[in-house]
Amino acid sequence: MAIPQRPRAVVTGGAGGLGRALCLALAERGAKILIADRDLTGAEETAHRVAANGGTAFAINCDVSKPAEVEGLTALADKHLGGCDLLVNNAGVAVSGSVGTIPLSDWEWIMGINLWGVIYGCHAFVPRFKAQGAGHILNVASAAGLLAMPEMAPYNVTKAGVVALSETLSGELRALGIGVTVLCPTFFRTNIMNSSRSATLTAGLDKMVDQRMAGSKVQAADVARIALEGCDDNELYVVPMQDGKWAWRLKRFSPERYYALMPKVMQRLSKRAAKH
């Protein structure tokens, strides 16, 4: 279903980056938003900006890796928004490095936020949406969930899980009038690398990621706008950037060739980045 006029939205990870951009894009639609983030100060700053942009927002301290805190968002949405039309599972972190060198504690940390956080959100809100016969879920995955690039295994695994969850939900909910969209961007500039954890990487890889984030023609505000338009059109997959679209096409066309080529491309890009 399309997002209604003046939607009531719950947005996780809205204290900065893409989550803040989504809140501001929703504010332009006159939305009432519950901003759930473990960074309450940042969430409050977003709430002020939402108010200045024509919306209304309430900042809530919430750690999405804690099921009771996510479950509690349903009651808070009832209290502050009078219900919920749109759930945005956006909160996320990054872990990089090669398998075997990444501490298991980092695997567990990212699984708790990027995958379990989204599962908790869907588990809490799907029954509500079914009861009201309407609603839309926007799950923020990543192109990493489609493309599985080297030295990003924990991130890839969580995002592939979010893609699979969204595909499954789409099959379960479409006939009930509930929409599901999974967002799969490639790199754009946010704070995600500041909170990321990484084991030893191929020389230049972190620089390459940094350069691609800064150099992307599509930045957070564009990604947010494209994502909401995808929800309006009830699209299941939203892949906003051209490089992501091309790589995903190649992978679907010839997965073997894609996985033979991908490490070489990554190595070449990392080497080039290391020189600058």
Ligand X SMILES: NC(=O)c1ccc[n+]([C@@H]2O[C@H](COP(=O)([O-])OP(=O)(O)OC[C@H]3O[C@@H](n4cnc5c(N)ncnc54)[C@H](O)[C@@H]3O)[C@@H](O)[C@H]2O)c1
Q: Return the number of the residue (136 or 159) whose C-beta is nearest ligand X.
A: 159
Nearest to 12 by CA among 62, 80, 57, 68: 62
Alpha helix (H) residue ranges in the chain: 17-27, 40-52, 67-81, 104-110, 117-132, 144-147, 153-173, 205-215, 220-232, 242-253, 255-275
**Residues assigned a catalytic role:** 155
| Closest approach of ligand X to the CB of residue 139, in Å | 9
| Closest approach of ligand X to the CB of residue 255, in Å | 21
Alpha-carbon torsion (39, 42, 44, 50), positive or negative: negative
CA distance 265 to 146: 17
Sites of contact with ligand X (CB under 6 A): 12-13, 15-19, 37-39, 42, 62-65, 90-93, 113, 140, 142, 185, 187-188, 190-192, 195, 213
Q: Return the number of the residue (195 or 267) whose C-beta is nearest ligand X.
A: 195
| Closest approach of ligand X to the CB of residue 64, in Å | 4
Angle at 177 between CA 176 and CA 179, to 5 degrees: 115
Q: Return the number of the residue (84 or 88) whose C-beta is nearest ligand X.
A: 88
| Closest approach of ligand X to the CB of residue 214, in Å | 11
CA distance 259 to 152: 14
Q: Return the number of the residue (192 or 273) whose C-beta is nearest ligand X.
A: 192
Residue 54 backbone zone (phi > 0: left; psi -120 to 50: alpha; other: beta):
left
